[in-house]
Amino acid sequence: MEDIRNKKGFICDMDGVVYHGNRLLPGAREFVNWLHENNKSYLFLTNSSERSPRELRQKLLRMGLDVGEDHFYTSALATASFIASQMPGCSAYVIGAAGLINALYDQGITMNDVNPDYVVVGETSNYNYETIIRAVQLVNGGARLIGTNPDLTGPSENGIVPACRAFVSPIELATGKSAYFVGKPNPVIMRRARQLLGIDSRDLCIIGDRMDTDVIAGIESGIETVLVLSGVSQADTAEQFSYRPNHIINGLGDIVP
């Protein structure tokens, strides 16, 4: 555990690591306090695209944690930045929540349900049959299909729920086109996370509850990996993959001395 504690910077997932829905997980408060007390650099890097950094800050405040906006980076921000770099001033048809729509607006991307350059899909409670039909029509018409993240499922207070990849799959199947996913483990978002922290990969640690996003992202980025069992992973989950994390812990509290 000392290997983890001696790192200068931490990249930490949120859903299933810090909280489930609106319930703070055991050890999360102590872990954040320990980061502050030891002057550690840290970034909450989430594949969820629903909320902006400001909304994530407010969410943690309601749970009793005071974390500045600059400590959050989301797949929505990474997706908007990526699309703007590919085609400045483009337009998009968006199936997603306010966090994604606002991130796209901030990058100069306009909403378009007639002839958009992109169809962008993230998590949202407004997902329905009509939006799927329109997305299929637009992708068949030439729009490029983008997913904010490749998570098939995610943890919630009421158990496992569908996530972005599950929302994108019907569109892929109906069009025969594969989506490009920007969130973890894509190097695009990992490179930006390292830039924001300004710390060498060897001095970083990534903490998450998913082998197929958090852990593989760390392995491919040369960052020490920690799998927590407070989200979608169980004690035997790592055995199902051809790679392993450096550490497996029950929750964030295990890191605190």
Nearest CA to 79 out of 188, 164, 198 is that of 188
Q: How large is the C-alpha radius of gyration of the chain?
A: 18
Q: Does residue 13 have an active-site annotation?
A: yes
Encoded tokens for 121 = 């899909």
Q: Nearest 5°: CA angle at 139, between 134 and 144?
A: 130
* Upper half-sphere CA count for residue 246 (Cβ side, 13 Å): 18
Catalytic residue chosen out of the listed positions 3, 13, 106, 254: 13
pTM, two decimals, is 0.94
Beta strands 19-20 and 23-24: pairing type?
antiparallel
Give me the pLDDT at residue 168, please: 98
Q: Residue 101 CB: number of other CB atoms within 10 A?
A: 21
Encoded tokens for 9 = 């910077």
Q: Residue 159 CB: number of other CB atoms within 10 A?
A: 8
Q: What gap in Å lies between CA 15 and CA 154, rounded to an integer?
A: 7
Beta bridge partners of 225: 206
Q: What gap in Å lies between CA 20 and CA 10, rounded to an integer?
A: 20
pLDDT per residue as tens, the chain (257 positions)? 888 999 999 999 999 999 988 899 999 999 999 999 999 999 999 999 999 999 999 999 999 999 999 999 999 999 999 999 999 999 999 999 999 999 999 999 999 999 999 999 999 988 999 999 999 999 999 999 999 999 998 877 777 889 999 999 999 999 999 999 999 999 999 999 999 999 999 999 999 999 999 999 999 999 999 999 998 899 899 999 999 999 999 999 999 99
Q: Does residue 3 have an active-site annotation?
A: no
Residue written as tokens 């030439």? 142
Q: What gap in Å lies between CA 164 and CA 192, rounded to an integer?
A: 21
Give me the pLDDT at residue 21, please: 86
Catalytic residue chosen out of the listed positions 3, 15, 66, 214: 15
Encoded tokens for 178 = 């594969």
CA-based end-to-end distance of the chain: 9
Phi-psi region of 119 (alpha: psi -120 to 50; beta: other; left: phi over 0): beta
